[in-house]
Amino acid sequence: MDSNLRARHNVGMTFQKLFSALLIGTVAIAHTNTGHACTGITLAPKDKSVVVARTIEWSGSEMTSQYVIVPQGYTQKSFVPGGQKDGLEFSALYGYVGLAVEEPEYVVEGLNEAGLSAGLFYFPGYGQYQAYDPADNAETISDFQLVSWILSRFSTIDQVQEAIKDVRVVGIDPRSSTVHWRIADFTGRQVVLEITGGVPHFYENTLGVLTNAPGFEWQMTNLNNYVNLAPGTAGPTNIRNLHMTAFGGGSGMLGLPGDATPPSRFVRAAFYAATAVPQNTAYGAVMQAFHILNNFDIPVGIQYPIDQVPTPMPSATQFTAVTDMTNRILYYRTMYNSVIRAIDLSKIDFGDVTYQTHPLDAIREQTVIQITPDA
């Protein structure tokens, strides 16, 4: 069976596997408010290139993560509630590379050959999709396939904003988490798409940061609570007869929240990205992004009550992705292997390549280079 047929094989089992993953997440959100966490940043190197980066966390279980290479002309159909693959059918005008979870159709981060990037971020408790109506199946797309639709069909944000009016985005199951999306194009423009009250809303994201709930506008307003933060060292200062000096460098950031909640990660990501020293090249910014996102790796144990056995995984941060949009290169590393891997879209002929999927880790083991001293 070729890779294209494999991706379409056994739809019922595909849906059930995805459903299981999402429902585990639903239970986690409903009872412990843990499990989902994504942190996105944007860097602007001196060469005017555009670099976006993000983590994806899921502490509920180990996801089946894979990268997909989708050629021009590849056609897929959306799932609808109930498990049928009977929703919107769409063909790829543009080839793309995506990072998917559980099943190849469920791309959570990707880049197409036209330079459009899109990513899915969990948005529990705040999104409200349109009500599902089987009579509208031909215009209905599942939230977890929206990134694939965007990357397949469009080259600019303007095009996405216009086309979203003609589709109905639904969740596969009402018990699972809603999501929102980050979309960026080759010009450097970036927006956040949130669907609330059944209506799509686009927010210009000049800051280039995104996490999860609450909504993007609230997160931006919340930054005003940290107006006192500044890079560098605070003080010294005198209050009456008390002389105070900082214990060390970086004290201007005293009060920066360090916990793993979405609002705290948003604040931390905003200040880390804003104070990052601009790199000369896109490649330098890519490496810088991986370093910055090290601060957002989430240990599995902190997301569980102390008397609950954590999931036996190396990290809740299952993979980190960085995209050089200007040079069309998608980089990633995983919880199993910190070695950075790169997929160069400029070296792929999307008019000729076959549809294919591959696990993010061929071997789930950290690469270690042994050092042998000279005799």
pLDDT at res. 41:
98
Q: Pull the structure tokens for residue 211.
A: 């996490």
Residues in a beta bridge with 191: 183, 204
- How far is the C-alpha of 46 from the C-alpha of 112, rounded, in Å? 24
pLDDT at res. 71:
98
Q: Map tokens 């993953």 to a residue.
A: 21
pLDDT at res. 264:
97
Per-residue pLDDT tens over the stretch 77-105? 999 998 889 999 999 999 999 999 988 99
Residues 181 and 189 sit within 8 Å (Cβ to Cβ): no
Whole-structure pTM value: 0.88
Q: Are strands 341-344 and 89-91 parallel, antiparallel or unpaired?
A: unpaired
pLDDT at res. 11:
35
- Amino acid occupying residue 38: C
Query: What length does the chain have?
Result: 375
Residues 60 and 33 sit within 8 Å (Cβ to Cβ): no
Query: In angstroms, what is the C-alpha Rg of the chain?
Result: 21
pLDDT at res. 22:
38
DSSP state letters, 103-119: STT-EEEEEETTS-EEE
Residues 55 and 296 sit within 8 Å (Cβ to Cβ): yes
All residue ranges of the chain with pLDDT < 70 are 1-35
Per-residue pLDDT tens over the stretch 53-74? 999 988 778 888 999 999 999 9
Residues 346 and 52 sit within 8 Å (Cβ to Cβ): no
Q: Are strands 140-142 and 168-170 parallel, antiparallel or unpaired?
A: parallel
pLDDT at res. 33:
44
pLDDT at res. 82:
84
- How far is the C-alpha of 347 from the C-alpha of 357, rounded, in Å? 17
pLDDT at res. 221:
98
Would you give the distance in Å from CA 296 to the centre of its chain? Answer: 13
